[in-house]
Amino acid sequence: MTKSSMKMITSPRDDPSKPETRSAVVPDDLSGERLDRALSVLFPERSRSKLARLVELGHVRVAGRAATRPSERVEPGQTVDITFPPPAPSGVTSQ
């Protein structure tokens, strides 16, 4: 898949303590692919396993409905919305 075949809409994270929501439209060449595989192509900076976990936790919507299984199939033209929660506090404090 080429970068030109992807349509992405990004909501920049102005405050790193708040969730980041991003959207993408499934291109033709991902027709019938598993959701977790499609997400890994659309958001290559994230690992497939972490994206699958976000699906399981209810942070992904496909065509306006909540996605619940990383194995569900996607179709061209569907909009995928994903919310990346803020990073968890590390619990490490400086001295």
DSSP structure string for 29-81: GGTT-BHHHHHHHHSTTS-HHHHHHHHHTT-EEETTEE---TT-B--TT-EEE
**What would the two tokens of residue 90 be?**
């590390």
Instruction: Check if the beta carbon of residue 80 is closer than 8 Å to that of residue 24.
Output: yes
Q: What is the pLDDT of residue 17?
A: 76
Give the whole-angstrom CA distance, residue 31 versus residue 73.
Answer: 8
Q: What is the pLDDT of residue 38?
A: 97
Nearest 5°: phi and psi at 19? -65, 155
Which residue do the tokens 């619990």 mark? Answer: 91
- The predicted model scores a pTM of 0.77
The pLDDT tens digits along the chain (95 residues) read 444 455 555 555 567 778 899 999 999 999 999 999 999 999 999 999 999 999 999 999 999 999 999 999 999 999 999 999 987 777 776 66
Q: What is the pLDDT of residue 41?
A: 96
Q: What is the pLDDT of residue 88?
A: 75
Going by DSSP bridges, is the β-strand pair 20-25/79-84 parallel, antiparallel, or unpaired? antiparallel
